[in-house]
């Protein structure tokens, strides 16, 4: 926002009802919101994640999240025994540890079927696409940050440059071109798998043949990110 726009908006009292009447959904939004389609999901095998952080770098590059900003659409949490660690420290806590177990949990927006962020947004800037993916309408978001407090997974943040809320989109722009999300493509161990939830697909088989769980099932959000071999301690 330019300074002139800022001052103009302050002077013209933006709270007066009807001050700005905007068409709620643009043509592009209508196209992604309606109609039958495959529902997509991501499956993450925790045992395969080595915490290399390539997914974070790929995601930031692909989605224009500044590399130096302490925010990310996807991030990796490290755990030693039952202790959650911050992974952006200068020291690698895993090297000195005498803990009996350690593992990494990649996290991202869970694209909940019953998404709290969609419900709480006062301006309907969050919505489900026909594929069940939760997107942010960046031209509508006012930056009230209610979605950040409402999200049980802490998966949304204010974009440091765009000044609207941002989060994982399952790389929707790539998906529409038939490409996989950037984090899935770059993962060197294949810990992340992505695809339609339909019989015969890879993610469908992984969910069917493995013991999977979702994060914070008690929240009743019905996430579309499934975890294999996840220690329940991460629910803390």
Partner 1 sequence: MRTIETVFVSLTLALTALGFVGAYLMHFPPPLSVELPVEPYESAFGVPWRYLVALYVFLVLLGTAAIASAGEVLHIKEIEVIVKDAVVIAILSIIVGLITIAFDLERIERAGYATLGHANPTSVMYWMIMFYILELIFLIVESWFYFRSDLVKQSELKGVKGAVGKILSLRFIGDYIQNRYFTSSALNKLAKYLTTRDKSIDSEVARSIGIVALITAVLAYSNLGALFAASYIPLWHDAITPIYFVVTAIFGGAAILVIATIVTSWATSSKEKLSALPVLRKILSVSLAIALLFTAWRAVIVGYPGVNNFAAISVANLMFGSYALNFWIVEVLLGMVIPIFLLLLRGNSIKVLLTSSVLVIAGVFTYRFDFIFAGQVVKNISGLSLPTPPHPFELMFILGALALVTFAYYAVYKLLPMEVEHAS
Binding site for partner 1 (CB under 8 A): 1, 3, 5-6, 8-10, 14-24, 69-75, 77, 84-86, 107, 116, 119-125, 140-146, 148-158, 163-165, 167, 219, 236
Nearer to partner 1, 41 or 221 (CB): 221
Beta carbon of residue 149, minimum distance to partner 1 (angstroms, whole number): 5
Q: 154 or 217, CB closer to partner 1? A: 154
162: nearest Cα among 146, 185, 139: 139
Burial of residue 154 (CB within 10 Å: 0-12, 13-18, 19+) is: exposed
Q: Which is nearer to partner 1, 16 or 95 (CB)?
A: 16
Which of 137, 188, 161 has the alpha carbon at shortest distance from 33?
137
Structural contact between residues 175 and 42, judged by C-beta atoms closer than 8 angstroms: no
Contact 91, 200 (CB under 8 A): no
Contact by Cβ (8 Å): 170, 40: yes
Whose Cβ is closer to partner 1: residue 116's or residue 195's?
116
155, 212, 235, 110 alpha-carbon torsion, rounded to 10°: 10
Neighbours of 163 (CB within 10 A): 13
Task: Compute the least distance from the CB of residue 67 to partner 1, in Å.
Answer: 14
The minimum distance between CB 177 and partner 1, in angstroms, equals 26
Q: Where are the alpha helices (DSSP H) in 77-181?
A: 93-96, 116-120, 146-150, 172-175
Residue 81 Cβ vs partner 1, minimum distance, rounded to whole Å? 15
Smaller CB distance to partner 1: residue 117 or 206? 117
Write down the least CB distance from residue 189 to partner 1, Å. Answer: 22
């Amino acid at each position: 926002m330019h300074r002139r726009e800022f001052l103009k908006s302050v002077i013209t009292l933006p709270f007066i009802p009807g001050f700005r009447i905007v068409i709620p959904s643009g043509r592009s939004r209508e196209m992604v919101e309606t109609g039958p389609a495959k529902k997509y999901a991501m499956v993450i095998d925790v045992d395969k994640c080595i915490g290399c952080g390539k997914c974070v770098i790929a995601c930031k590059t692909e989605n224009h999240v500044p590399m130096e900003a302490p925010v990310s659409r996807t991030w990796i949490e490290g755990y030693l025994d039952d202790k959650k660690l911050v992974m952006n420290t200068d020291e690698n806590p895993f090297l000195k540890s005498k803990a009996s177990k350690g593992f990494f949990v990649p996290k991202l927006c869970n694209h909940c079927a019953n998404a709290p962020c969609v419900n709480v947004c006062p301006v309907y800037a969050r919505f489900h696409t026909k594929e069940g993916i939760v997107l942010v309408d960046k031209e509508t978001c006012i930056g009230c940050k209610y979605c950040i407090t409402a999200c049980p997974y802490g998966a949304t943040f204010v974009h440091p440059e765009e000044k609207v809320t941002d989060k994982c989109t399952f790389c929707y722009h790539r998906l529409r071109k038939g490409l996989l999300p950037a984090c899935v493509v770059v993962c060197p161990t294949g810990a992340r798998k992505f695809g339609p939830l339909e019989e015969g697909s890879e993610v469908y088989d992984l969910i069917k043949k493995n013991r999977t769980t979702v994060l914070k099932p008690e929240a009743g959000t019905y996430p579309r990110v499934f975890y294999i071999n996840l220690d329940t301690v991460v629910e803390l």
